[in-house]
Structure 1
């Protein structure tokens, strides 16, 4: 993955070093173009350290604006109102504007990260609309203190990875539940399942990278959601079930990664006294994955099955049972006694046409394998249709 990072003269240029380092950690080869104003904010040596090569500050006989214009991605971060306007009106009077004009003519993907005063951002929106119509992608800034500020670096990297992927899920709508649900006992107490939402978010990120339009049904989570996702809060199992009923018909894939409470207590309107013993009456919650299958027989459905301290054979049988009873296409089964809740790693078995037993790996790596399985199933489905 070859990315050209263009750094222009916004104060947010100070974030470019961290951005370049993170892109390289994701496997990208990064070449940097810097404007004269950017060089007044950060020294070119800093970008040389971050990218591993000298930044391009001027055009020479090597015609750098043509040499690098066919990269996998041109990323302008930060993008000033000035550079946005120059591309909108096809002006080329410096190395970066010349590169962008050439790349635009070649059809190279361009992503811009606006960073400027709020009033300038408002004035530049017409130029941004014009560029969006031409295929330029904008990562929305973080609006704060009267400024359009640089967004979280991971958000920018996520968009860069999407624009440089094979986009095997382009045009697909993916619905993903994540986190735990909370079932109230009274106005101040409740019962819940432990879940951070990390696994569901990892799958969401990988689906987005592969071109999918992703909607999240978020229960109780402890992760930050990138701005690219549509998020619907679903605190209880009933609210999550209602959201699935409403949305499943519009989606091609449903990934049920949430840890939904199996039972809910009878709710008491007033706070229960803390004196003495308490007996709770529990009622079963709706089986969301079954609802999804009943309402959308054509959707590809992925379930998660968590067990605690069981043999691998029993874990596989439990996954196969879920596939048979709920009509699930793929089940990701794991023993949470091996890698606990909130961990960044997981040891799972992906059960589909066969059982793929996996070693302990990061949740990001596991998410990649899950999306590989989903993409393969969808491709097979399309071939047979």
Structure 2
């Protein structure tokens, strides 16, 4: 996959080096174009080092703007007010704008990452809207900047890479009509994180779920072009603001919101670690720390068993976390869930394994449906990719 990374004269150009390196790590072939103003922020040698390719600074007899205009994506990061405005009015007076205008003529996807002072960003908003209105096939996108300290700042590199992957995958799936295209525009609901069951206004019980596995599934779904909604409980990860997210606290809140929404979705992945028990009573004021305390608990609602009753057509993926049991026992418990809840696929794992489970970067899971597939210790990102490859074949 080929990405042309255009670097313009914003101070955020210093982040373009990191962005290029991350795109390379993700397997993309990266070629850089720079404006004169961009070269005053960072030296072209830095981009050549980051991409491994000579940087285009001027247009020559090789007609570089035509040669590279049909890449998989033209990524303008950072995009200044100058470059955006010139593109809006199709002014070609530098290598970057010449490339953009030519690429637009080929319907090549273009992704702008605006980075500038907030007053300037507001001033060119009509130019951004002009570009969006003239876009026929949604091939031109903008990543919203982080609005901080009076500046439209460069977004997180991870968010830019994720948006780039989504655009490229959607475009290529349209061309090739491959398995990945089967998931395009499917609506997916994903729950993640733990729940918090209050004892009094400042205390409660929860679990060690961090939301890391769920977030990797969300990212994979987004990059493949699915329409996503998240139900997020207690997490230790940052959820990108661009995702359609509903935040909940208790198991009751999560179950209620799930029942409200799941009827409208094609796929539901129940990654959340919902509490099995909740206090029978919740005190309205802080319980004194000087007394002996005894709590009574009640079982919480098993929402997984109601999903197919609400939406019989939904593809239901359940997660089952166990502690210090054999693989055979885990598989049997997963099959029991399939029988009782109608789950289409269960991801079972033993959270006592060293370096796996809650809060870790890796996991070791067993995929259980009509077949049983044991996945050795892998990153949660790799596991998310495996799950969606399977989903693309079976949906």
Counterpart-to-counterpart distance in 2, 1:91 and 1:270: 65
2: CA distance, partners of 1:296 / 1:131: 40
Shift of 1:274: 2.8
Is contact 2:265-2:314 (8 Å) kept?
yes
Shift of 1:292: 2.5
Alignment of 1:42-57 (within 5 A): 42-57=42-57
Which is worse superposed, 356-365 or 367-376?
Answer: 367-376
Q: State the match for 2:367 in structure 1.
A: 350
Change (3 A) 1:49 1:290: same
Q: Name the SS of the counterpart of 2:78 in structure 1.
A: strand
Give, in whole Å, the separation in 2 of the partners of 1:57 and 1:103.
17
Task: Look up the match of 1:243.
Answer: 257
Identify the match of residue 168 of structure 2 among 164, 171, 181: 164
State the distance in 1 between where 2:109 and 2:379 align. Answer: 30
2:198 is equivalent to residue 184 of structure 1: yes
> Is residue 340 of structure 2 the alignment partner of residue 325 of structure 1?
yes
Task: Judge conservation of contact 1:87–1:100 (CA < 8 Å) in 2.
Answer: yes
For residues 132 and 289 of structure 1, the distance between their equivalents in structure 2, rounded to whole angstroms, comes to: 41
Residue 146 of structure 2 is aligned to residue 149 of structure 1: no
Offset of 1:131 from its aligned partner? 2.1
Q: How many angstroms apart in 1 are the aligned matches of 2:41 and 2:305?
A: 56
Deviation at 1:119, TM superposition (A): 1.6
Match of 2:176 in 1: none
Q: Does the 8 A contact of 1:182 with 1:237 survive in 2?
A: yes
Select the residue among 326, 341, 351 that pairs with 2:358: 341
1:12 corresponds to: 12
Give the structure 2 partner of residue 197 of structure 1.
211
Partner secondary structure for residue 280 of structure 1: coil
Output the CA distance in 1 between the equivalents of 2:33 and 2:305: 53
Shifted more, 288-297 versus 146-155: the winner is: 288-297
Q: Does the CA contact (< 8 Å) of 2:81 and 2:121 recur in 1?
A: yes
Separation of aligned partners in 1, 2:390 and 2:304: 19
Give the corresponding residue for 1:310: 325
Task: After TM superposition, list the pairs within 5 Å mapping 1:1-385 onto structure 2.
Answer: 1-133=1-133, 134=135, 135=138, 136-165=140-169, 166=173, 168=181, 169-265=183-279, 266-338=281-353, 339-378=356-395
> How many residues align structurally?
378
1:45, distance to aligned residue in structure 2 (A): 0.8
Cα separation, 2, equivalents of 1:130 and 1:246: 37
The answer on whether the counterparts of 2:349 and 2:357 sit within 8 Å (CA) in structure 1 is no
Distance 1:150 1:105 in 2: 27
1:155–1:227 contact (8 Å) kept in structure 2: no
Q: Unaligned stretches of 5+ in structure 1?
A: 379-385
* 1:88-134, Cα deviation, whole Å (9 max, x unpaired): 22222211111111111111111110111112211212221222231
**Corresponding residue SS for 1:360:** strand
Give 1:271 shift: 2.2
CA contact (8 A) 2:267 2:315 kept: yes
2: CA distance between counterparts of 1:238 and 1:273?
A: 26
After superposition, the C-alpha distances for 1:302-333 in whole angstroms (9 at most, x for unaligned) are 10001111111111111111111111111100
When structure 1 is superposed on structure 2, of 82-91 and 174-183 the one drifting more is 82-91
Write the distance in 1 (CA, Å) between the matches of 2:212 and 2:100.
Answer: 37
Q: CA RMSD in A?
A: 1.2
Q: CA deviation at 1:276?
A: 4.8
CA distance in 2, matches of 1:371, 1:131: 34
Separation in 2, partners of 1:132, 1:322: 47
